[in-house]
Structure 1
Amino acid sequence: MPAEQNIISELALELGLAINEMKSRLRQKIQTRINEYDPDLSFELIEILGILSRSNGINQQEISSKVSKDKSSITYLINNLVKRELVERVEYKNDRRNKQIFLTSKGKQIVETVYPWALELYRKAAGDLHEDEIRNALLLVKKMTAHLENQD
Structure 2
Amino acid sequence: MQPSDRENAIKFLRQMSIVTQTLKGFMRQKFKAHNINITFEMLQVLRFLWEKESGNQQEIADAIIKDKASLTYLIDNLVGRNLVQRTEDSQDRRNKLITLTPAGKDLSAMIQPWLEEMYQMVALSGTSEELQSSLDVFKNIQENVKQQIA
What is the root-mean-square deviation in Å for CA atoms of aligned residues?
A: 2.3
Q: Tell me, yes or no, if structure 1 residue 16 matches structure 2 residue 13.
A: yes
Instruction: Name the counterpart of 1:43.
Output: 40
Instruction: Name the counterpart of 2:119.
Output: 122
Q: Quick check: 81-90 or 27-36, which moved more? A: 81-90
Matches within 5 A, 1:86-97: 86-97=83-94
Number of equivalences: 149
Check 1:63–1:12 CA distance in 2 against 1; reply closer, same or farther (3 A cut): farther
TM-score by length of 2: 0.82
| Structure with higher strand content | 2
Structure 1 CA distance, aligned partners of 2:38 and 2:125? 31
Q: Tell me, yes or no, if structure 1 residue 58 matches structure 2 residue 55.
A: yes
Q: Tell me the percent identity.
A: 31
8 Å Cα contact 1:46/1:111 also seen in 2: no
Check 1:146–1:104 CA distance in 2 against 1; reply closer, same or farther (3 A cut): farther
Instruction: Name the counterpart of 2:71.
Output: 74
**4+ aligned runs moved over 4 Å, structure 1:** 6-10
Shift of 1:33: 0.7
Q: Which amino acid in the other structure matches residue 16 of structure 2?
A: I
Instruction: Name the counterpart of 2:110.
Output: 113
Q: Which amino acid in the other structure matches residue 102 of structure 2?
A: S
8 Å Cα contact 1:35/1:41 also seen in 2: no
Structure 2 CA distance, aligned partners of 1:148 and 1:92? 36
Q: Which runs of 5+ in 2 are unaligned?
A: none
